[in-house]
Amino acid sequence: MFTSSRRRSAGARTLTTSLALAASVALAAAPLASAQSTVSPDGTLAVGSLGTPIPASGSLGSLAQPAYADYVALGDSYAAFGDQSLLAEGPAAQACARSLTNYPNRLDMNPAVGALTDATCGAAVTADITRAQYQNVPAQIDALGTTSDLVTLSIGGNDVGFGKIVQCITKQGDYKTTPNCETAIGAGVAADIAETFGADGPIDDVYDAIEQKSPNAKVVTTQYMPLMPAEGGSCAFTQQLNPADVAWAREVGEAINDAVDSAAQRNGHISVLPVDDVDRSACAAPEDRWTDFLGGLPTMAAPFHPTKLGQQAMADAIAAAL
């Protein structure tokens, strides 16, 4: 979620909003194209030049309609959010800030995917898959049944401290005077990654719960689209940060996604992550970026979260992997 897999020097973006505001909103919230695509052995989906995004309606190719009649989406804000000016209706959807442009809804536009039950929720941790997260927000696992045949999952980022990492690199809260985030919290974050995604840990419990409720479902886990540009790239936002913290954030993002993929494979599933040969990080031009640092206009994304375009890319990655 913190590092881009491609390199490009993005144009500077005027920063009229403070880091404090961006970080505080992010913490509250956390709480495509018809191009050739291939899936690498580690589950990463390489997407060719994406251009203008289109619905994922044709990307399941030759699969018979409907190949997946009962689709359930589970996960955190990286699955729930998108254009936050377009939220789903209902108490649970509003409490979870589910966007109508998130990747579950984009994937559901595919004619090979049937009815969608979107149980994703901002700020979810692994325990929220099997327990009620808020009032009127039941355990996400309750959305599954014996007929569920497709499940997507995005979880674990909040368990390893996404909000804490954002606070540290933007020098907010308890980390206002922290000179180096890797020195201050790096060991703890690494331990949290190992504990969350390690064998017999919380992630394995989630996969076991899915297996018990929907033993015949195809499960696709989504990795976290990066915020930071690849090494050598920068923009006005990252230039205000400690370069050492930016480099560490890249490493953390890669470590989290490696752990996501390892846990998925260990449990007999796959994970996907869209990548491109141009910069799609939060430093990219607004019309190109898959994630956003500040959020709001023009992408209407939540700060430090995927954009509508990024969610479309993830939907296409899932479709191509099925």
Give me the torsion for CA of 128, 131, 135, 138, rounded to 10°. 90
CA distances from 60 to 50, 64, 214, 240 (A): 17, 9, 22, 42
DSSP 137: B
Residue pair 184/117 in contact by the 8 Å Cβ criterion: no
**Which one of the listed residues 99, 214, 271, 305 is annotated catalytic?**
305
Q: Is the dihedral of CA 166, 170, 176, 180 positive or negative?
A: positive
Matching residue, tokens 């504990």:
195
Cα–Cα distance measured from residue 317 to residue 320, given in angstroms and rounded to the nearest whole number: 5
- Which residue out of 77, 154, 214, 271 is catalytically annotated? 77
In the residue annotation, 305 being an active-site residue is answered as: yes
Residue 269 annotated as catalytic? no
Task: Return phi, psi of residue 134, to 5°.
Answer: -135, 170
Please give the full DSSP string across 68-81, using - where no structure is assigned: EEEEEEEESHHHH-
Report the alpha-carbon angle 247-253-255, nearest 5: 105
β-bridge mates for residue 142, sequence order: none
Question: SS3 of 29, please?
Answer: helix
Dihedral Cα 317, 84, 129, 119, nearest 10 deg:
-80
CB 148 within 8 A of CB 217: yes
For residues 278 and 186, what is the distance between their CA atoms, to the nearest angstrom? 29
Q: Would you name the residues annotated as active-site residues? A: 77, 305
